[in-house]
Amino acid sequence: MLRTPALLFALLLAHVHGSCNQEASIKNATAKVTRAVGAAVLQVKFDVVFSTSPKVMKANHDTSDWYTINITFIDSGEVPVARGFERQADSNGRVLAEVRVFPYSDATAYPGQSVNIPMAAFALNEGTHQLKPVFTVHDEHKKLVPCNFSSAPLTVIMPPRIKLKVEVKSILVSDTDQHGDTWDAWLFKFSASRPEVFWTTTLAGKNLNYSDYTMNSFTYNDPTGKDNLLFSICKGDVFYISVYDFDQLSRNDLIGTQKFDMSTYQNTGISHPTTFGLVREMEYSITERP
DSSP class of 152? P
CATH number assigned to the domain comprising residue 220: 2.60.40.150
Same domain, 93 and 45: yes
Same domain, 155 and 41: yes
In a domain, 213, yes or no: yes
Predicted confidence band at 18 (pLDDT cuts at 50, 70, 90)? very low
In a domain, 145, yes or no: yes
Same domain, 129 and 174: no
Predicted confidence band at 189 (pLDDT cuts at 50, 70, 90)? low
Q: How far apart are the first and last CA of the chain?
A: 71
User: What is the share, in percent, of the chain residues with pLDDT greater than 70?
Assistant: 90
Listed residues 159, 191, 215: the one ending a domain = 159
Same domain, 175 and 244: yes
Same domain, 35 and 139: yes
CATH number assigned to the domain comprising residue 44: 2.60.40
Q: Per mean pLDDT, which range of 8-12, 104-108, 222-226, 227-231 is the poorest?
A: 8-12
In a domain, 4, yes or no: no
Alpha carbon separation from 251 to 121, 213, 244, 254 (Å, rounded): 27, 16, 10, 9
Same domain, 166 and 243: yes
DSSP class of 95? B
Same domain, 271 and 172: yes
Could you report the per-residue pLDDT of 30-82, keeping only the tens digit for each? 988 999 999 999 999 999 999 999 889 888 887 788 999 999 999 989 999 99
Does residue 79 contact residue 44 with C-beta atoms inside 8 Å?
Answer: no
What CA–CA distance (Å, rounded) separates 271 from 219? 17
CA-wise closest residue to 201 among 238, 245, 160: 238
Same domain, 269 and 144: no
Could you report the per-residue pLDDT of 234-282, keeping only the tens digit for each? 989 999 999 999 987 778 889 999 999 998 887 777 889 999 999 999 9
What CA–CA distance (Å, rounded) separates 120 from 123? 7
Residue-level length of the chain:
290
* Total structural domains within the chain: 2
What CA–CA distance (Å, rounded) separates 190 from 223? 30
Query: 97 CB contacts (<8 Å, ≥6 apart)?
Result: 44, 70, 71, 88, 115, 117
The boundaries of the domain holding residue 125 are: 21-159
